Structure 1
């Protein structure tokens, strides 16, 4: 839109016009054509119509802008300017003032008026874009648009949950640190802001299971079995450690001929143990559940479910003699979520139930 060289400012004035109109409608009396008064026209008043009219003023006197601003700001609320019997001006507001800025214009909005977001982007905002609007642009719009009344838009707040799955703990920590350092609000676009991000890490609890062999010296293996059979599992021995199961695996009996180590039900000796030590019985698959040995080198009977039942060397069983002392090995399954302690296993525990619980309470483990 071309401007004369002597134009120093362009003002946009918003006029609110109130227009009264009437509807003239004839009443026709078809049944009584001989009565001329029946065809009289009747005026029906209608509700007034309001129009917003933008008037552009080109001014050569900069002081006139301030004069108009003062005039309309003080009289706009009580203004009642009659143009015709049916049209009058109810309000006049100055909305926009554009000043020359080099080869172009800088157009600023008056109080309570703003430029639309599209105009801010198209013509370049010369102040901050806030809530999708600005109050200053760096050119005169070519489409005849001017600042619009500032409206209070309804704000909607949504809580959005975003789930991130990752197995790398370091990566999760980097994400948490980056989100914590963000400065809010974060503007996604002219209509959407992120006001807050709350980081909640949910790490699935990892349960580690250990199998611990405990050696107990006792003179009454049956009493020990009865005590263990009376336990209710799981048995909690610390906030992070539970005993989930406890079974007797091996009973070693010393007599005049030496030591016999027999497996309890569902347990057998590994095949290599049957080959190294002298078996005192045979299983149908040539494994063994009894050996003669002065020392088992810390080995005990293993669960049948976990064995590779390779045929063992056949041997001749040796009869059992008088019992002198009994050594019992039990297998204890422990469930723990604590992997920060070190393993401390006593070589043996003498006694019965109280000694076993005392031993279990002194156990601590480390991740293998």
Structure 2
């Protein structure tokens, strides 16, 4: 909502400015109305024979307004803060729009009658140098081939590309044409009617080195990872998988040997003979 206030005295404008700055937000008008932002954006005054409109605070005039009316200050980054006019269209100063970078993910299905074009597409994806610039504002930062489906007899078989896997729920919903390892599979005997295609494997061991806890090693697996204790260490709870919540500690055998050496040092020379 925009409210226009006519005041000929600069003191009145100063009072309004002070009142706006002192308002505590959000301001509850009633049970259904709440004011979340309250700003003075523009102040216009008669300068000799013409009006001069100046922007308040961090507000600016849009670029087209600066050019349509003679700007009374510099035009910087496509905007100005003062114009020698009272805009006839009621356009007030606006908050500057920051430049945002948007990321989009697109999934493209490509149909071929034979596998030869599939190999060509696979090589194209593998050999494309990234980022790929389409124009000044659009860049492709990642391109991936995830799934290849083919007609096997009377039904489709969908196989994951290298380093990709089906989510575990997809393996359970559809009959798999390979083994389910680590809760995932690489091939299903179906063309999924919904849901995502094969997913790229994330190397948890690389992106989160502490995933297994101290005194352990991490081995990446498709769709999962495996933790094992270093030599001389065992899991705190041997009945559970090793993880950050079930870490590896010094093994009992090493504790016994250390204790024997310690006790042996306490014996007198006569006792050791």
TM-score tier (shorter)? 0.3 to 0.5
Q: Which structure is higher in helix share? A: 2
Higher relative contact order (CA 8 A, sep 6+): 1
When Rg is computed on C-alpha atoms for both structures, the one with the higher figure is: 1
Q: Which structure is higher in strand share? A: 1
The normalised TM-score by structure 1 is 0.33
The normalised TM-score by structure 2 is 0.43
